[in-house]
Amino acid sequence: MSVSDIDQVAVENLQDYLRIRTVQPNINYDECITYLQNQASALGLPVKVYEVVHKKPVLVMTWEGQEPSLPSILLNSHMDVVPVFEKSWTYPPFEAKIVDGVVYGRGVQDMKSVAIQYLETIRRLKNKGITLKRTIHLSFVPDEEIGGAKGMGKFVESEHYKKLNVGFALDEGIASPTDDYIVFNAERSIWHVTVICPGKSGHGSLLLPDNCGEKMRYIIDKFMDLRQESKKKLEDNPQLTIGDVTTVNLTMLEGGIQNNVVPEKLSASFDMRLALSVDFNEFENMIKNWCKEAGANVTYQFEQKDDYVPPTPVNDSNPYWVAFKTAIEKLKIPLQLRTFPGGTDSRYVRKAGAPALGFSPIRRTPPGLHEHNESLQVSVFLEGIRSYEEIVPAVANS
């Protein structure tokens, strides 16, 4: 098969994958699983499907290495995508239409293109007769876009995962708008907290004591002051990126029954991503003290409270990092190292004990995760496959 033919197969496989509507919420993954099973069959790879959580399948393809007893390499991707507002798209989000060399589709950056790049890399390596020292596992997991707790989160706790003997993992990154590639060796920890401010209810014409609105103002001011501190850190130091600071956003306000009734309770929810430098105990104690200072009976509760997960080492102590970095240098592509600003399934892999890097070989491309008209140049997609042709053997033979 010629280079142009194998490239055409890769693009068509990407389009086919993008056309599968694995849209949150309440996804039926059957069509996606069937598609991936067919891909595994075409590549001659054994495949298994695990349902650690009912209707949350994890599919794993395996390319056995020359020394299968060694720790393996995991190439992970998630099957689900976020919802779309179809009226806001120039082209239908599930047609995978190519216009002027650009493919448009929900999930093309996040992260179905990466999944196909993995598959097409294996196809090309096998076609060249290449064999690798370590076993490669390709995992396709559900529900990353809603936190991954019932996807990769449960899978890494299972015996199925433990039997994979994962030594190192690659997962999603973010597109780079420059000539550089961006790689992520860590993630901030996600805390979603709701603060509940109770008070005396009564007529809206009065100045009642124990007022929930006054308490809420104090709480919001404290969180917004913290937000301002992080904004100032970024403004004062251009070397910092969003992943280097703690972000705070007020995301929900609830309470009240009508305009002339002082409510008995108001609540505010905050999305926080804690920087690696944060002491978690001190941070929670700070929130606890704010609640005490705000007034009587103010409480808080967590909807999500991630543990601290240490970064993947990026020095000579980590042979996988050395191999990855050497492969990128061979490609003569500059590399930026960062902390991931959001949350990915990498955190579960790291927490389970394996080093992991977040990396999408997409450059010269504005990041379009979760946006209308999510798109990717076909040439950039194909370049990513060629990059993986260097990276995968490098880490698998390390």
**Average pLDDT for 339-345:** 92
Marked catalytic residue, from 120, 143, 144, 374:
144
**Confidence class for position 189, pLDDT limits 50, 70, 90:** very high
Q: Give mean pLDDT, residues 142-151.
A: 96
To the query of whether residue 80 is one of the catalytic residues in this protein, the response is yes
What is the pLDDT at residue 342? 86
CA angle 142, 144, 149 (to 5 degrees): 85
Which residues belong to CATH 3.40.630.10 in the chain?
3-187+311-396
CATH match for 189-275+277-305 among 1.10.10.10, 3.40.1190.20, 3.30.70.360, 3.40.50.720: 3.30.70.360
Q: Write down the pLDDT at residue 2.
A: 73
Question: For 99-105, what is the mean pLDDT?
Answer: 98
Contact 345, 79 (CB under 8 A): no
Average pLDDT over residues 284-289: 98
Q: Is the pLDDT of residue 397 over 80?
A: yes
Taking alpha carbons only, the member of 277, 271, 127, 282 closest to residue 191 is: 271
Section 314-329 average pLDDT? 98
Instruction: For domain 3-187+311-396, give the CATH superfamily.
Output: Zn peptidases (3.40.630.10)
Give mean pLDDT, residues 264-283: 97
What is d(CA 294, CA 74) in angstroms, rounded to the nearest whole number?
A: 48
Q: Where in the chain is the domain with CATH 3.30.70.360?
A: 189-275+277-305
Placement of tokens 């399948």 in the chain: 57
pTM, to two decimals: 0.93
The answer to whether 385 and 124 are in contact (CB under 8 A) is yes
pLDDT attached to residue 34 = 98
Q: Is 144 a catalytic residue?
A: yes
Is the model's pLDDT at 207 over the cut of 90? Answer: yes
What pLDDT is stored for residue 200 in this prediction?
Answer: 97
Q: Which of 263, 247, 245, 243 is nearest to 255 (CA)?
A: 263
Burial (0-12, 13-18, 19+ Cβ within 10 Å), 381: buried
Please, are residues 53 and 145 in contact by the beta-carbon 8 Å criterion?
no
pLDDT for 1 equals 66
The model's confidence at residue 142, banded by pLDDT at 50, 70 and 90, is: very high
Grade residue 76 by pLDDT with cuts at 50, 70 and 90: very high
pLDDT at 4 over 90: no
Could you read off the pLDDT of 239-259 as tens digits, one per residue? 999 999 999 999 999 999 999
Give the active site residue among 80, 143, 171, 389: 80
